[in-house]
């Protein structure tokens, strides 16, 4: 036997592991150990480490069993001692659950088996001991069902088919004329077990194993196996969880929520996972087991009285009906409820985060089965962090780090317009499972959702209920609507985790997968029809409902303030016009990192002047056209400077190749000829002459300004005059003129001469002067490498990581679609380098550029203005490379600010 420990036991307020050992024991195992250590009642059990999972993929089943058998046998004996039951015994059989548990929580992604250890003789013993044969047979049928599904591979044959076991149950219910599985008698359940086993034998050609040890090893190995199942792989991909981590396996004595009316099972959250409200909440079912609550088999009931009343109101259920049919746990089992409430408070205070709990009440006695940090929406994330800060549970730094930058995106998404909502036709009402506003076309299957999504259409995934198989479809959907399931159903939990709008449990909907229709209130909705979901109220509307920009509350403001306090890097925005600048300024942007002047040339009559300039025969003709553009540009710049109130504004001189400004179709060219009086032949000839084989590497950037200096002259004059005009009005201006696409310091020198000359002319004309800076983009690899020479001329650097990525990798951003998906699949690339900065290549050039630049100008201001400026992991890299700021699109400013704070705090 090796000296490495593979098995860690827990039980009776003792544990060999603890809550910090998540890498080795997985999240579930580590917290089961920790709950024991803090004195919370947890059924005894043990955890097989994540390292064994890796060994499984090397050694296979036989090798692993041999390796861990002695430790597992000893751990089972420990459970036997604590429970007074015996594994495989015929009078007091010990039953266990076998549960997976990875380092990061992957709810419902891998498989769990309950009631393991049962066979035809153990079930009789269990019936006799408990005096409750129905309970014994119910446990047995569940075991056969789960084991058959997970270990023996009894799955539905096609997507339209029901689960083979559920089909047998439905048949049975029909035969007996009952609605709920709780109405089936012990004899019915005994018959079910028989039919289940026969079905297993027929479909899988295997006998159902009767030896508990064989069952145990089969279950343990299939948990390891499930780490590599398709949905687990997809979940890891969506959540950036490495495959190497592996899963642990938890084996634990069963406690039974299905023992009768004094037993129950449920899930709870210490705060509201959808809104963040500080309110204990959750769902439970009497006489039920395991995942019954989440699977939406029966309508789950609320744990607290308050929650129950709110639920009834939302569902239109009267107080009498609620009390009679759906009472809260607080009302039904007050003693157990009180203990649960104390434990939830204890656990939240202990872990200092919102907890997601699982519990079971066996004959009045409460047992805790799981605690973990609960998944939550972006809004809940911010509210919970800020509340916990003001409640003194966590400090400012922790509060900032609790908020995931990328998740802020959800808060910035549009919401339904109130007026439009009033006029919308409500066709159903479900539970407000995950807030947001979603509009899309109905699809019924996850794979159809993916297909429709790739066609560029918006979809709402409509399911009776969702399962982990639907993950990919949920991911691409605008929103998710289910007919069954509560606030803790799979759909609800996963949607909240994804920050996706979800309405669950809209019971009026009659969904038919075969005809692909929803019937509700006399209406039939077909696949492809538009519907809208309000995840905050649970309302479902027919058609498309108009949306408007989100409203941000005080908690968001407080978080942004804290982010500003802890970040050392500044965040600017890429904005080309006053409206965008205003949005960015509102989100706290401390400057404009990139204003692309060419965007100003497209509107209205401007494009005509621009085209005249391009079509001109000589410099004189160009100047004539540029004179028309000058006042327009000046006005645009004034607007921008006014909005930014003295914060720096970096304006890039004209960058794109001129052919982007001229018309390419015959019709447009004819129109242009009419408008300008220039002959169509001449226009055509000029357009042809502008054609380039590789325009992105052609006549663009500073190459334009150096071949047509009059363009730079006009833009400089517009900038300097605008700045002087605005300053005259008492608004300070910090102007930074940026020269694009420099690869050779002489290019920059040439441009700087032009800029300084024009500026001095304007100063002389007005007998006044202002400060301005001249800097450059670093976006050609040669510029990064020769940054020391460039810094002799430049007063600031801005890394243009879009072009820099393009030129460093030799990937055309516009043509990447043909190979990128394959490269990512093959693992050649981890992510799209245009989204996530390529640290080892582009990142190294960036570091070198900063270093060489600052070797000449120690105070050189360096920033980044590519798309990467709003992507959290790239922001982190920019911080480590010593940049002064990142610049990103206005709506990503909050994300970048928070990411910058994270980078500084980590």
CB of 475: closest distance to ligand ADP in angstroms?
A: 19
Q: Scan for tokens 């046998």, then name that residue.
A: 73
Residue 865 among the catalytic residues: yes
Phi/psi at 282 (nearest 5 deg)?
165, -175
| Shorter beta-carbon distance to ligand ADP: residue 226 or 536 | 226
Q: Report how far residue 214's alpha carbon sits from residue 193's, in angstroms, rounded to the nearest whole number.
A: 19
Q: Report how far residue 496's alpha carbon sits from residue 315's, in angstroms, rounded to the nearest whole number.
A: 21
- The catalytic residue among 702, 862, 865, 888 is 865
Using alpha carbons only, give the angle 316, 317, 322 rounded to the nearest 5 degrees. Answer: 155
Using alpha carbons only, give the angle 849, 739, 752 rounded to the nearest 5 degrees. Answer: 105
Q: Among Mg ion, ligand ADP, none, what binds residue 290 when CB lies within 5 to 8 Å by partner kind?
A: ligand ADP
In contact, 494 and 506? CB cutoff 8 Å: no
What are the CA-CA distances from residue 350 to residues 32, 357, 545, 761 (Å)?
14, 14, 44, 69
Interaction between residue 369 and ligand ADP (CB under 6 A)? yes
Q: Report how far residue 156's alpha carbon sits from residue 149's, in angstroms, rounded to the nearest whole number.
A: 9
CB of 39: closest distance to Mg ion in angstroms?
A: 21
| Shorter beta-carbon distance to ligand ADP: residue 81 or 319 | 81
CB of 369: closest distance to Mg ion in angstroms?
A: 7
Q: Which residues pair with 597 in a beta bridge?
A: none
- Strand 547-548 versus strand 570-574 pairing type: unpaired
Contact flags string 110-129 toward ligand ADP, x per CB under 6 A: --x-x---------------
507 is written with which tokens? Answer: 């019971």
Q: Report how far residue 175's alpha carbon sits from residue 873's, in angstroms, rounded to the nearest whole number.
A: 58
| Shorter beta-carbon distance to ligand ADP: residue 252 or 466 | 252
Out of 152, 216, 254, 595, the only residue in the binding site for ligand ADP (CB under 6 A) is: 254
Listed ranges 247-255, 379-387, 516-524, 756-764: which one lies at the site for ligand ADP (CB under 6 A)? 247-255
Interaction between residue 44 and ligand ADP (CB under 6 A)? no
| Shorter beta-carbon distance to Mg ion: residue 358 or 539 | 358
Q: Is 551 exposed, middle or buried (0-12, 13-18, 19+ CB in 10 A)?
A: exposed
Residue 6 among the catalytic residues: no
Q: Report how far residue 225's alpha carbon sits from residue 182's, in angstroms, rounded to the nearest whole number.
A: 33
How many residues bind ligand ADP (CB under 6 A)? The answer is 17
Listed ranges 112-120, 146-154, 821-829, 865-873: which one lies at the site for Mg ion (CB under 5 A)? 112-120
Contact flags string 193-232 toward ligand ADP, x per CB under 6 A: ----------------------------------------
Q: Among ligand ADP, Mg ion, none, what binds residue 252 when CB lies within 5 to 8 Å by partner kind?
A: ligand ADP
Contact flags string 77-106 toward ligand ADP, x per CB under 6 A: --------------------x-x-------
Interaction between residue 358 and ligand ADP (CB under 6 A)? yes
Listed ranges 12-20, 351-359, 579-587, 842-850: which one lies at the site for Mg ion (CB under 5 A)? 351-359
Out of 36, 49, 83, 112, the only residue in the binding site for Mg ion (CB under 5 A) is: 112
CB of 377: closest distance to Mg ion in angstroms?
A: 20
Q: Report how far residue 772's alpha carbon sits from residue 630's, in angstroms, rounded to the nearest whole number.
A: 19
In contact, 535 and 410? CB cutoff 8 Å: no
CB of 594: closest distance to ligand ADP in angstroms?
A: 46
Listed ranges 86-94, 249-257, 474-482, 835-843: which one lies at the site for ligand ADP (CB under 6 A)? 249-257
DSSP 193-238: HHHHHHHHHHHH--PPP--HHHHHHHHHHHHHHHTTSHHHHHHHHH
Phi/psi at 789 (nearest 5 deg)?
-70, -40
Out of 145, 252, 263, 534, the only residue in the binding site for ligand ADP (CB under 6 A) is: 252
In contact, 305 and 324? CB cutoff 8 Å: no
Out of 108, 300, 436, 705, the only residue in the binding site for ligand ADP (CB under 6 A) is: 108
CB of 696: closest distance to ligand ADP in angstroms?
A: 49
278 is written with which tokens? Answer: 């500080």
Listed ranges 148-156, 252-260, 451-459, 569-577: which one lies at the site for ligand ADP (CB under 6 A)? 252-260
E strand spans, 105-200:
113-116
Listed ranges 113-121, 357-365, 520-528, 696-704: which one lies at the site for Mg ion (CB under 5 A)? 357-365
Q: Report how far residue 226's alpha carbon sits from residue 223's, in angstroms, rounded to the nearest whole number.
A: 5
In contact, 126 and 118? CB cutoff 8 Å: yes
Out of 370, 532, 534, 751, the only residue in the binding site for ligand ADP (CB under 6 A) is: 370
Q: Report how far residue 700's alpha carbon sits from residue 803's, in angstroms, rounded to the nearest whole number.
A: 12
CB of 155: closest distance to ligand ADP in angstroms?
A: 18
159 is written with which tokens? Answer: 């997507």
| Shorter beta-carbon distance to ligand ADP: residue 361 or 733 | 361
CB of 370: closest distance to ligand ADP in angstroms?
A: 5
Out of 34, 149, 191, 291, the only residue in the binding site for ligand ADP (CB under 6 A) is: 291
Q: Please give the biggest Cα pair distance in the chain.
A: 105
CB of 235: closest distance to Mg ion in angstroms?
A: 12
DSSP 284-350: EEES--TTHHHHTSS-PEESSHHHHHHHHHHHT--HHHHHHHS--HHHH-HHHHHHHHHHHHHHHHH
Out of 255, 461, 644, 748, the only residue in the binding site for ligand ADP (CB under 6 A) is: 255
| Shorter beta-carbon distance to ligand ADP: residue 268 or 411 | 268
How many residues bind Mg ion (CB under 5 A)? The answer is 3
Interaction between residue 31 and Mg ion (CB under 5 A)? no
195 is written with which tokens? Answer: 């039919």
| Shorter beta-carbon distance to Mg ion: residue 300 or 378 | 300
| Shorter beta-carbon distance to ligand ADP: residue 292 or 580 | 292
| Shorter beta-carbon distance to ligand ADP: residue 112 or 225 | 112
- The catalytic residue among 490, 659, 745, 902 is 490
Q: Among Mg ion, ligand ADP, none, what binds residue 215 when CB lies within 5 to 8 Å by partner kind?
A: none
Name the strand (E) or helix (H) holding 900.
helix 893-905
Out of 370, 439, 574, 716, the only residue in the binding site for Mg ion (CB under 5 A) is: 370
| Shorter beta-carbon distance to Mg ion: residue 112 or 583 | 112
| Shorter beta-carbon distance to Mg ion: residue 358 or 576 | 358
Interaction between residue 250 and Mg ion (CB under 5 A)? no
Give alpha helix (H) positions in 772-841.
Answer: 781-785, 787-790, 801-809, 820-826
| Shorter beta-carbon distance to ligand ADP: residue 108 or 869 | 108
In contact, 374 and 368? CB cutoff 8 Å: no
Interaction between residue 887 and ligand ADP (CB under 6 A)? no
Listed ranges 251-259, 613-621, 673-681, 683-691: which one lies at the site for ligand ADP (CB under 6 A)? 251-259
261-264 contact pairs (CB < 8 A, 24+) = 261/286, 261/287, 262/333, 262/361, 262/363, 262/364, 263/287, 263/360, 263/361, 263/362, 263/363, 263/364, 264/288, 264/329, 264/332, 264/333, 264/336, 264/360, 264/361
Interaction between residue 290 and ligand ADP (CB under 6 A)? yes
CB of 147: closest distance to ligand ADP in angstroms?
A: 14
Phi/psi at 316 (nearest 5 deg)?
70, 35
| Shorter beta-carbon distance to ligand ADP: residue 357 or 525 | 357
Residues in the site for Mg ion, rule: CB under 5 A? Answer: 112, 358, 370
Active-site positions read 490, 865
Residues in the site for ligand ADP, rule: CB under 6 A? Answer: 43, 97, 99, 107-108, 112, 114, 252-255, 290-291, 358, 360, 369-370
């Amino acid at each position: 036997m090796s000296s490495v420990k593979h098995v860690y036991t827990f039980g009776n307020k003792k544990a060999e592991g603890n809550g910090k050992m998540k890498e080795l024991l997985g999240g579930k195992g580590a917290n089961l150990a920790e709950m024991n250590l803090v004195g919370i009642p947890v059924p005894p059990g043990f955890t097989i480490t994540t390292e064994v999972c890796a060994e499984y993929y090397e050694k296979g089943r036989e090798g692993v069993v041999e390796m861990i058998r002695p430790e597992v046998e000893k751990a089972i004996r420990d459970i036997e001692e604590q429970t007074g039951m015996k594994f495989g015994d015929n009078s007091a059989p010990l039953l266990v659950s076998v549960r997976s548990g990875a380092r990061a929580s992957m709810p419902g992604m891998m498989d769990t088996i309950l009631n393991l250890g049962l066979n035809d003789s153990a079930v009789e013993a269990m019936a006799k001991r408990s005096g409750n044969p129905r309970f014994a047979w119910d446990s047995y049928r569940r075991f056969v069902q789960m084991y058959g599904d997970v270990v023996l591979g009894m799955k539905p044959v096609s997507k339209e088919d029901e689960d083979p076991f559920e089909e047998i149950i439905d048949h049975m219910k029909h035969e007996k004329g009952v609605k709920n599985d709780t109405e089936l008698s012990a004899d019915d359940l005994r018959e079910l077990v028989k039919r289940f086993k026969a079905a297993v034998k027929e479909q899988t050609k295997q006998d159902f194993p009767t030896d508990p040890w064989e069952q145990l090893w089969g279950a343990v190995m299939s948990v390891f196996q499930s780490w590599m199942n398709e949905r687990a792989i997809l979940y890891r991909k969506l959540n950036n969880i490495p495959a190497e981590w592996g899963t642990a396996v938890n084996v634990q004595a069963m406690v039974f929520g299905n023992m009768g009316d004094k037993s129950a099972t449920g899930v709870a959250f210490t705060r509201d996972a959808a809104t963040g409200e500080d309110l204990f909440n959750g769902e439970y079912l009497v006489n039920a087991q395991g995942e019954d609550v989440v699977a939406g088999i029966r309508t789950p009931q609320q744990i607290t009285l308050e929650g129950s009343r709110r639920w009834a109101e939302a569902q239109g259920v009267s107080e009498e009906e609620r009390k009679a049919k759906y009472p809260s746990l607080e009302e039904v089992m007050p003693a157990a409820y009180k203990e649960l409430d104390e434990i939830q408070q204890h656990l939240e205070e202990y872990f200092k985060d919102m907890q997601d709990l699982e519990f079971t009440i066996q004959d009045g006695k409460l047992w805790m089965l799981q605690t973990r940090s609960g998944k939550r929406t972006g809004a809940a994330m911010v509210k919970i962090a800020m509340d916990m800060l003001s409640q003194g549970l966590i400090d400012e730094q922790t509060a900032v780090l609790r908020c995931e930058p990328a998740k802020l995106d959800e808060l910035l998404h549009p919401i339904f317009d109130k007026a439009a909502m009033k006029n919308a036709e409500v066709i159903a009402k479900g539970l407000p499972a995950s807030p947001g506003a979603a509009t899309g076309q109905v699809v019924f299957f996850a794979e159809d959702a993916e297909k429709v999504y790739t066609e560029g259409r918006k979809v709402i995934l409509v399911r009776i209920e969702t399962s982990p198989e639907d993950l990919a479809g949920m991911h691409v959907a605008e929103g998710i609507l289910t007919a069954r399931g509560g606030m803790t159903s799979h759909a609800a939990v996963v949607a909240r985790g994804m920050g996706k709008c979800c309405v669950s449990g809209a019971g009026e909907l009659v969904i038919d997968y075969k005809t692909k229709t929803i019937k509700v209130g006399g209406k039939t909705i077909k696949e492809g029809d538009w519907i809208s979901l309000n995840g905050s109220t649970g309302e479902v509307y027919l058609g498309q409902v108009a949306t408007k920009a989100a409203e941000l509350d005080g908690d968001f403001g407080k978080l942004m303030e804290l982010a500003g306090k802890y970040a050392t890097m500044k965040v600017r925005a890429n904005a080309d016009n006053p409206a965008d600048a205003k949005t960015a300024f509102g989100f706290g942007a401390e400057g404009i990192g990139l204003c692309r002047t060419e965007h100003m040339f497209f509107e209205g009559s401007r494009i005509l002047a621009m085209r005249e300039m391009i079509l001109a025969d000589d410099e004189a003709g160009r100047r004539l056209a540029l004179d028309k553009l000058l006042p327009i540009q000046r006005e645009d710049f004034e607007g921008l400077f006014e909005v930014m109130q003295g914060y720096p504004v970096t304006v890039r001189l004209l960058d794109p190749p001129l052919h982007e400004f001229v018309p390419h179709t015959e019709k447009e060219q004819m129109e242009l000829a009419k408008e300008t009086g220039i002959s169509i032949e001449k226009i055509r000839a000029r357009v042809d002459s502008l054609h380039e084989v590789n325009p992105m590497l052609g006549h663009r950037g500073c190459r334009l300004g150096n071949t047509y200096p009059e363009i730079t002259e006009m833009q400089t004059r517009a900038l300097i005059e605008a700045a002087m005009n605005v300053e005259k009005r008492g608004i300070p201006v910090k102007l930074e003129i940026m020269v694009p696409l420099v690869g050779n310091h002489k290019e920059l020198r040439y441009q700087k001469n032009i800029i300084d000359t024009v500026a001095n002319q304007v100063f002389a004309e007005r007998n006044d002067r202002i400060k301005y800076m001249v800097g450059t983009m670093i976006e050609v690899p040669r510029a990064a490498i020769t940054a020391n020479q460039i810094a002799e001329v430049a007063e600031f650097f801005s890394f243009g990581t879009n072009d820099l990525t393009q030129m460093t990798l030799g990937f055309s951003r516009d043509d990447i679609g043909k190979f990128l998906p394959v490269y990512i699949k093959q693992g050649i690339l981890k992510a799209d380098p245009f989204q996530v900065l390529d640290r080892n290549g582009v990142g190294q050039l960036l570091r070198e550029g900063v270093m060489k630049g600052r070797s000449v100008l120690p105070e050189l201001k360096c920033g980044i203005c590519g798309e990467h400026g709003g992507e959290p992991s790239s922001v982190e890299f920019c911080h480590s490379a010593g940049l002064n700021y990142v610049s990103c699109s206005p709506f990503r400013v909050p994300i970048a600010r928070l990411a910058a704070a994270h980078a500084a705090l980590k």
